Amino acid sequence: MPVDQNYDEDDEKQDSSEGSSRRFGDFDCPECSANNPYDDKFGDGDEIRCYYCGAEFRATVTESGRLKTRLI
């Protein structure tokens, strides 16, 4: 079976019933592009910090369940 080089797990359809209550186990820092795994999941309204550059963000989850981050 051929391997799809453009496959990304994040592109899979998410359960739309989760919406803004969705929790995340990691994020990619918008400042330094490092991936930051979190043991305790985070969600809408939580403050998160990049382990590499130290930037702090407020997590916002849209109604469609997508993560948005804002520098604080």
Global pTM reads 0.72
- Which pair of tokens denotes residue 44? 């809408």
Higher pLDDT, 5 or 58: 58
Task: Tell me what the mean pLDDT of segment 38-62 comes to.
Answer: 96
Q: What is the CATH number of domain 19-71?
A: 2.20.28
Domain ranges of the chain: 19-71
Could you read off the pLDDT of 3-33 as tens digits, one per residue? 666 555 655 555 555 788 999 999 999 999 9
For the chain, give the longest Cα–Cα distance. 46
pLDDT value, residue 39: 93
The secondary structure element, H or E, covering residue 54 is: none
Handedness of CA 14, 19, 23, 25 (dihedral sign): positive
Q: DSSP for 5-42, please give it.
A: TT--GGGSPP-TTTGGG--EEEEE-TTT--EEEEEEEE
